[in-house]
With several copies, the nearest count.
Chain A
């Protein structure tokens, strides 16, 4: 372990990564559209060896009392043990909960969904938007992979028809009211450097991470620091780097 850590850190000091990438380079990003027919929208995203599928399902339910004419967004995450020897079966623990909540806030706070358009009958019935993920392989940087797959799945989503009583999932026609394209980029402090898209091995040795979700106009919609401390200067740099990489990722959509 110490040898691996030393190697990873020495590479970074010299301005490159253990796998030959530059500090600000993502691994290869692949996006597959709508692999899941039973979902209203779906996407499979691979970033290097990380491999996730996100499906969006629509159901109906009651609105929250304080938001009687807004649809409801529910983002979940399970760290399925199929994807890593470190994930254990059982109900979601803090790692899974943070993953879901960071992706949730990125979508919610960016105002990406026009929730008013998901209202069916005020106070009584609204659309519930479920965003769920199946992690196939955990190769590092799950937050960015899930966020990108969630956004793509929402872009691919079509609303099923609803006659006031039953949803007809065989007819999906109307577009989903998506208003923005928020992208999460997680910047990691590795040694004294800032890098993006950590591999699984790098993730074990980072000092801190900062996930920055940016909107199309360059504004920041959500921040989440994980791990150890960061200075204000490091935070500034990380945000700037996230904005830049966010634009690059958005151009893939």
Chain B
């Protein structure tokens, strides 16, 4: 199969990770995946207010995902949407398992994810950025989380759909993955696939996550060198 941009079916777009891009934040990162650009900033842990929202035995990891108005062809209206609220929620679920939240009872860790430019895969780029930003903030973690999506076009399992591939695919399956625990922390799917294909696509995603994970670690090492 020939892909629009010449990639192999199991090849993701050029990935670039920069750590520490927001001086005010406790931790931050920018992730570019092809033309998709996400930034993440971590603030906290700080006391969670109002008090009645505090959890007595652990911190709350609060994620807020937003898109810059100019990030897409049709301008995005500012303010939360149903889509952004859901992505914020699944992002928090994707990251929470690897953070030692139990070390910070009654606290909140705020993770802000802003999409600067959107071209498929904004939620996975956001998770990749947020995972690195949490580590950059020095928050104790069991592991990093890597994230990517894949689908099936014709008979082929195809990684990191972009451009017109999104319309051609029979399904779009994003995952987030913690390599050390071999655990999937995010899984969604829209489409139409037999169960066996779902498994194949997830496996393709997992392999890619293991590579992204290496790039994440390298980016953090670069940062710590400075």
Q: Do chains A and B touch in the complex (CB under 8 A)?
A: yes
Q: Is the CB of A109 within 8 A of B188?
A: no
A57 an interface residue at 8 Å Cβ cutoff? yes
Q: Is the CB of B24 within 8 A of A83?
A: yes
Min CB gap B191→A, angstroms? 6
Closest B residue to A88 using CB positions: B110
| Contact bitstring B76-100, A, C-beta under 8 A = 1, else 0 | 0011001101101110010011000
Please give, as numbers and ranges, the residues of chain A lying within 8 Å of B202 by CB-CB distance.
232, 235
**B23, B24, B73, B189 — which one has the most chain A CB atoms within 10 A of its CB?**
B24
A101 an interface residue at 8 Å Cβ cutoff? yes
Q: Is the CB of B195 within 8 A of A38?
A: no
* Stretch from A119-127, A128-136, A190-198 forming part of the interface with B: A128-136
Please give, as numbers and ranges, the residues of chain A lying within 8 Å of B187 by CB-CB distance.
210, 223-225, 230, 235
Q: Is the CB of B192 within 8 A of A219?
A: yes
Q: How far is the CA of A93 from the CA of B53 in the complex (A)?
A: 15
Min CB gap B75→A, angstroms? 4
Min CB gap A68→B, angstroms? 15
- Of residues 125 to 173 in B, which have CB atoms within 8 Å of A's CB atoms? 171, 173
Q: Which of A37, A51, A85 contacts B117 (CB 8 A)?
A: A37
Closest A residue to B82 using CB positions: A97
Q: How far is the CA of A230 from the CA of B183 in the complex (A)?
A: 6
Q: Which of B22, B188, B195 contacts A82 (CB 8 A)?
A: B22
Please give, as numbers and ranges, the residues of chain A lying within 8 Å of B117 by CB-CB distance.
36-38
Q: Is the CB of B68 within 8 A of A219?
A: no
Q: Is the CB of B70 within 8 A of A36?
A: yes
| Contact bitstring A35-65, B, C-beta under 8 A = 1, else 0 | 1111100100000010101111101000000
Q: How far is the CA of A57 from the CA of B71 in the complex (A)?
A: 9
| Known pairs A53-B116, A89-B64; A225 contacts B35 (CB<8 A) | no
Q: How far is the CA of A126 from the CA of B75 in the complex (A)?
A: 16
Q: Which of A38, A92, A220 contacts B118 (CB 8 A)?
A: A38
Q: How far is the CA of A105 from the CA of B33 in the complex (A)?
A: 26
B12 an interface residue at 8 Å Cβ cutoff? no
B184 an interface residue at 8 Å Cβ cutoff? yes
Q: Is the CB of B24 within 8 A of A220?
A: no
| Known pairs A38-B72, A230-B187; A223 contacts B79 (CB<8 A) | no
| Contact bitstring A132-172, B, C-beta under 8 A = 1, else 0 | 10101111000000000000000000000000000001000
Please give, as numbers and ranges, the residues of chain A lying within 8 Å of B90 by CB-CB distance.
225
Closest A residue to B79 using CB positions: A91
| Known pairs A37-B117, A81-B110; A220 contacts B68 (CB<8 A) | no
| Known pairs A109-B192, A221-B191; A80 contacts B114 (CB<8 A) | yes
| Known pairs A82-B25, A100-B82; A226 contacts B70 (CB<8 A) | no
Q: Is the CB of A138 within 8 A of B110?
A: no
Total A-B residue contacts, Cβ distance less than 8 Å: 180
Q: How far is the CA of A70 from the CA of B85 in the complex (A)?
A: 26
Please give, as numbers and ranges, the residues of chain B lying within 8 Å of A94 by CB-CB distance.
85-86, 88-89
* Stretch from A1-9, A10-18, A21-29, A236-244 forming part of the interface with B: A236-244
Q: How far is the CA of A229 from the CA of B97 in the complex (A)?
A: 7
| Known pairs A219-B192, A229-B184, A230-B187; A38 contacts B39 (CB<8 A) | no
Q: Which of A35, A51, A78, A223 contacts B198 (CB 8 A)?
A: A223
Q: Which of A37, A83, A222, A243 contacts B195 (CB 8 A)?
A: A243
Q: Is the CB of B193 within 8 A of A219?
A: yes
**A97, A110, A222 — which one has the most chain B CB atoms within 10 A of its CB?**
A97
- Of residues 172 to 222 in A, which have CB atoms within 8 Å of B's CB atoms? 210, 215, 218-222
Closest A residue to B114 using CB positions: A82
Please give, as numbers and ranges, the residues of chain B lying within 8 Å of A251 by CB-CB distance.
none
What are 27 A-B residue pairs whose CB atoms fall within 8 Å in the complex? A35-B116, A36-B117, A38-B117, A38-B119, A51-B21, A51-B22, A76-B69, A78-B78, A80-B114, A81-B64, A81-B110, A82-B41, A82-B112, A82-B114, A83-B41, A85-B24, A92-B78, A94-B88, A105-B190, A219-B195, A222-B189, A223-B188, A224-B188, A229-B183, A235-B184, A235-B199, A240-B195
For the A-B complex with A225-B93, A229-B181 known, give 18 more contacts whose Cβ atoms are closer than 8 Å.
Answer: A36-B68, A49-B24, A55-B68, A55-B69, A78-B78, A80-B114, A82-B28, A82-B113, A130-B75, A134-B116, A219-B194, A220-B191, A228-B185, A229-B178, A229-B183, A232-B182, A235-B199, A236-B199
